Structure 1
Amino acid sequence: MEKKSKQKFQRKMQTRHLVMLSLGGVIGTGLFLSSGYTIQQAGPFGTILSYLIGALVVYLVMLCLGELSVHMPETGAFHSYATKYIGPGTGYTVAWLYWLTWTVALGSEFTAAGLLMQRWFPSINVWVWSLLFAILVFVLNILTVKFFAESEFWFASIKVIAIVLFIVVGAAAMVGSLPMTHFPSAPFFSNFTSAGLFPNGAFAIVMTMLAVNFAFSGTELIGIAAGETANPEKTIPKAIRTTLWRLIIFFVGTIVVLSALLPTSDAGVLESPFVAVLEQIGVPYAADIMNFVILTAILSAANSGLYASSRMLWSLADKNTISPIFAKLTKQGVPIYAVIFSMFGGGLALFSSIIAPDTVYIVLVSISGLAVVVVWMSISASQFLFRRQYIKEGNSVKDLVYRTPFYPLVPIASFILCLVSCIGIAFDPTQRIALYSGIPFILFCYASYYLTQRLKKRGVGYVQQNQPY
């Protein structure tokens, strides 16, 4: 089963597809809607510092992922690496954490997309739009990998162009080239020190790091797509380099503009800080423009999310830890049942967000927020253990096509920084639920893995009957 399914995956993605797939997963509601909350919590200067640290963490993790995915380019990537170099229980847990991250995101993104359409079509129910967008994203994912990659390229391009224009217009307002309604003169960086560098204390940076890391989540999609990428030894390193410097420019540049032009006291209560800034500059139809951009951002993230979650399910089935039906591919190389099940999971998340937003859904969101950072920690640990084993087996590091620099400093530093962001949320009452929900879920995944393995040894269930070896 394993060899057969791998042969059918089509290596159709180019560098531009990988870059936009990664950006598509990263640039979403976290930047467009939630960035104001971070500014209010950490202050303008503290927020920029948080995002710079977040960018450093992402860079270190991607350096680790680059070595692994170039040496072993396969679909499902870091789940496979964790299984091989840390342990099968960890690999299993990482896969389910990552799957849950994106399926929960699917539910919230379809809801958000429906709500955005209410601005233009208030008489049509939100669920109608949510259903239509869910069908669109599902269709884009079940055709061919190349068609999916092209659609994601253009989805992501819209929001990238919008962010670049926002940074240019915002920078012009900062230096006084464009007038602002509540600034009599050019604001420059006066907002940064008006309430002190750290209005809520320097520790607020640590407390917001999980939210910042979550905002950067999606960059690791490059590793997920490694098994469907043409010339991975050249494409992946180039995509990692290109994605990282673009992310730093987009995120840090955007946060600098927002921090400089938004009053800190108002930043956290605004529906969209982008709309507020553009309206103060006097951009006509600012709300409608940003409504369209945010809509494409949401659909782009949903598109990337369904791709990522379905490939994680395929990888679990390929490793024979869940039903082999999820490893079945169409003639076009699409894991159709994995896509369907992931979409079904997104539907359940959407349902729980309506029926039980303060109980079930908040738990799912909390777990998914923590999950990405745990996945990054697994990537760092996998690279550290891979390199050690690679050398122990008598291989030369010079033979690696792509090498993580400054080993073992890079994997150790990235692991510790991710761990610090997890510890930091214990001191934030609004984020603490991530630990209360996430840790039991991780323990549940480990327990379920070892339970199924025990049943497997006793010859119970599908696993024994479908052994590929």
Structure 2
Amino acid sequence: MSELSAPPAQQPPARSTPGVSPGESGLRRTMTSRHLVMIALGGVIGSGLFVSSGYTIAQAGPLGAVLAYAVGALVAYMVMSGLGELSARHPVAGGFHAHATRDLGPAWGFTTAWLYWMCWAVALASEFTASGILMQRWFPTVPAWVFALLFAALLFALNAVSSKVFAETEFWFSLIKVAAVVLMIVVGAATILGINPASEAGPLGLANFDTGDGLFPTGISGVLVTILAVFYAFSGTELIGVAAGEAKNPELSIPRAIRTAVVRLAVFFIGAIVVIAAIVPFAEAGANESPFVTVLDAAGLPAGADIMNFVIITALLSAGNSGLYSCARMLHAMGAAGQAPAVLSKTNRRGVPMLALCLSLLGGLASLLSGVIAADSLFLALVSISGFAVVAVWIVICASHLSFRRHHVAVHGGTDSLPYRAPLFPLLPILAVLLLGASLVGVAFDPVQRPALWFGVPFTLLCLGYYRWRHGAGVFTPAR
């Protein structure tokens, strides 16, 4: 595990990224470690686990899906360890956008921020739409867009009050779905072992892992393609870095929150996939019904479908809540750093960047409308950039960590002044970059995911080129 120690008495002052230092951001440090952990869990545990996990099993096979999620958890730990070191040393508003600006160059900070903002703006639209559709189970005569707008208004209100209200709400949102995942794992495991009195089936064991076509029925290629999607499934843990500017005692709370969040996510995701794969036959995986509902039905849990429908709506709102927060803080950070209109950095008396929040909500609603009234190619472009952005941002985090550590050691002669040191440096960040880069290369061989490169790469180059043209700065010019 990573080293964690109290900051030494003679610790040199942290370098501040212009415009985003904690004292000048206008944000307030009101979040504790428990808030940060639940924000990360809220951003990650969503429809990808509750709805799409059956498709993951169908694509890679039972054992292949488990291995894919194990690799995803490992890479998430590698990336977030580096983010923990960066954020503990520089707990600034904007998180990894500010780190990229300082350690790679303003052009990369600018590009990273817009990629990530686009990612969550598109995600907001999908969360609102999916929530509205699920509500029609109980209110079939009410159009889905009515609920989508109501949920958008609710999340806006929660974010507009204060960061503390947002964090506390997200804590309870996340707690509901974490409890649901734990319930499913426990009830499912009891059913697998044959000790669930409500289930009429005998012990199921792990017989489903023997598909009749070997342990990897779709071949290694099916596993590799699944890993690409799994990286995206673990996205959201980096929200801890975005919230760093509003964390209490960031030198201690941020590393602790990152370590705790990644470990819990690994247990939840891998445990859930094992249970689902053991109960849902491989040939039936990928059906339209949520595999969680299938598991609870098999376990004989009364009203399982309605319970899970409520939980999935809560999960979607939780992810949307974290996404709206992230969008607003990214715009705020860019305004503070001079990479967007300065007015976006303004906060109200409660420490909330209201203009950035309003523009982020409008961005999410615009993406929602584009899926209905605009050409299919526009929505495909936005969704593809969203998927590409996650892997690209994680690569930027690793690159920022490598640059930061090299510079810090050169200036201070060692790492003793760091409040938190990521383990096995530079092996882990380099290995993470290689795995993430390989996933982007692999996208080119998957026709379904290939549009991510068609739109993601040009969008990235456009942002880098625009910043260089507008500001005349080199692409690799760290702002130290």
Bin of the TM-score, shorter chain as denominator length: over 0.9
Show the 5 A alignment for 1:302-381. Answer: 302-356=320-374, 358-381=376-399
Partners of 2:258 and 2:379 in 1: CA distance = 33
Paired residues of 1:27 and 1:301 also in contact (CA < 8 A): yes
Show the 5 A alignment for 1:119-134. Answer: 119-134=137-152
Give 1:382's match in structure 2, choosing from 396, 400, 405: 400
Bigger mean CA offset, 264-273 vs 46-55: 264-273
Paired residues of 2:398 and 2:429 also in contact (CA < 8 A): yes
Corresponding position: 1:68 with 2:121 = no
Provide the alpha-carbon RMSD of the alignment: 1.8
Paired residues of 1:50 and 1:205 also in contact (CA < 8 A): yes
Corresponding position: 1:191 with 2:199 = no
Partners of 2:204 and 2:341 in 1: CA distance = 59
Partners of 1:356 and 1:80 in 2: CA distance = 34
Partners of 1:395 and 1:298 in 2: CA distance = 47
**Counterpart code for 1:225:** A
**Counterpart code for 2:148:** S
**Does the C-alpha gap of structure 1 residues 336 and 236 become closer, same or farther in structure 2, counting only changes over 3 Å?**
same
Partners of 1:445 and 1:93 in 2: CA distance = 5
Per the TM alignment, residue 439 of structure 1 is displaced from its structure 2 partner at its CA by: 0.9
Corresponding position: 1:156 with 2:177 = no
Partners of 1:108 and 1:223 in 2: CA distance = 24
Per the TM alignment, residue 7 of structure 1 is displaced from its structure 2 partner at its CA by: 5.1
Residue in 2 that maps onto 1:463: none
Partners of 2:98 and 2:255 in 1: CA distance = 19
Show the 5 A alignment for 1:212-361. Answer: 212-356=230-374, 358-361=376-379
Partners of 2:469 and 2:23 in 1: CA distance = 27
Paired residues of 2:33 and 2:257 also in contact (CA < 8 A): yes
Residue in 1 that maps onto 2:15: none
Partners of 1:18 and 1:169 in 2: CA distance = 28
Per the TM alignment, residue 271 of structure 1 is displaced from its structure 2 partner at its CA by: 2.9
Residue in 2 that maps onto 1:175: 193
Where has structure 1 moved over 6 Å in runs of 4 or more? none
**Does the C-alpha gap of structure 1 residues 329 and 184 become closer, same or farther in structure 2, counting only changes over 3 Å?**
closer
Partners of 1:115 and 1:367 in 2: CA distance = 24
Corresponding position: 1:46 with 2:40 = no
Residue in 1 that maps onto 2:55: 37
Give 1:115's match in structure 2, choosing from 113, 118, 133: 133
Per the TM alignment, residue 139 of structure 1 is displaced from its structure 2 partner at its CA by: 0.5
Corresponding position: 1:409 with 2:427 = yes
Give 1:59's match in structure 2, choosing from 77, 89, 93: 77
Per the TM alignment, residue 238 of structure 1 is displaced from its structure 2 partner at its CA by: 1.2
Give 1:428's match in structure 2, choosing from 423, 429, 446: 446
Partners of 1:404 and 1:412 in 2: CA distance = 13
Per the TM alignment, residue 357 of structure 1 is displaced from its structure 2 partner at its CA by: 7.2
Paired residues of 1:5 and 1:328 also in contact (CA < 8 A): no
Per the TM alignment, residue 2 of structure 1 is displaced from its structure 2 partner at its CA by: 5.3
**Does the C-alpha gap of structure 1 residues 125 and 306 become closer, same or farther in structure 2, counting only changes over 3 Å?**
same
**Per-residue CA distance 1:59-115 (angstroms, 9 max, x = gap):** 000110010000000111111111111122111111111001111000000001110
Aligned to 2:421, what secondary structure does the other structure show?
coil
**Counterpart code for 1:237:** P
Residue in 1 that maps onto 2:476: none
Aligned to 1:265, what secondary structure does the other structure show?
helix
Partners of 2:287 and 2:439 in 1: CA distance = 24
Residue in 2 that maps onto 1:467: none
Partners of 1:58 and 1:120 in 2: CA distance = 37
**Does the C-alpha gap of structure 1 residues 370 and 154 become closer, same or farther in structure 2, counting only changes over 3 Å?**
same
Paired residues of 2:81 and 2:259 also in contact (CA < 8 A): no
**Counterpart code for 1:446:** L
Partners of 2:22 and 2:135 in 1: CA distance = 43
**Per-residue CA distance 1:114-166 (angstroms, 9 max, x = gap):** 10110001111111111110000001111111111111111111001010000
Larger helix percent: 1
Partners of 2:119 and 2:138 in 1: CA distance = 30
Partners of 1:434 and 1:421 in 2: CA distance = 12
Paired residues of 1:5 and 1:329 also in contact (CA < 8 A): no
Residue in 1 that maps onto 2:6: none
Partners of 2:375 and 2:144 in 1: CA distance = 16
Per the TM alignment, residue 308 of structure 1 is displaced from its structure 2 partner at its CA by: 0.5
Aligned to 2:237, what secondary structure does the other structure show?
coil
**Does the C-alpha gap of structure 1 residues 164 and 310 become closer, same or farther in structure 2, counting only changes over 3 Å?**
same
Corresponding position: 1:418 with 2:436 = yes
Per the TM alignment, residue 280 of structure 1 is displaced from its structure 2 partner at its CA by: 2.3
Partners of 1:184 and 1:153 in 2: CA distance = 36
**Does the C-alpha gap of structure 1 residues 122 and 426 become closer, same or farther in structure 2, counting only changes over 3 Å?**
same
**Counterpart code for 1:323:** P
Partners of 2:437 and 2:95 in 1: CA distance = 21
**Counterpart code for 1:88:** P
Seq. identity, %: 52
Per the TM alignment, residue 289 of structure 1 is displaced from its structure 2 partner at its CA by: 0.5
Partners of 1:327 and 1:91 in 2: CA distance = 16
Residue in 1 that maps onto 2:113: 95
Aligned to 2:93, what secondary structure does the other structure show?
coil
**Counterpart code for 2:210:** T
**Counterpart code for 1:73:** P
**Does the C-alpha gap of structure 1 residues 430 and 4 become closer, same or farther in structure 2, counting only changes over 3 Å?**
closer
Residue in 1 that maps onto 2:154: 136
How many residues were matched structurally?
Answer: 455
Bigger mean CA offset, 46-55 vs 410-419: 410-419
**Per-residue CA distance 1:368-412 (angstroms, 9 max, x = gap):** 011111101111111111010111113321111100111110110
Per the TM alignment, residue 8 of structure 1 is displaced from its structure 2 partner at its CA by: 2.3
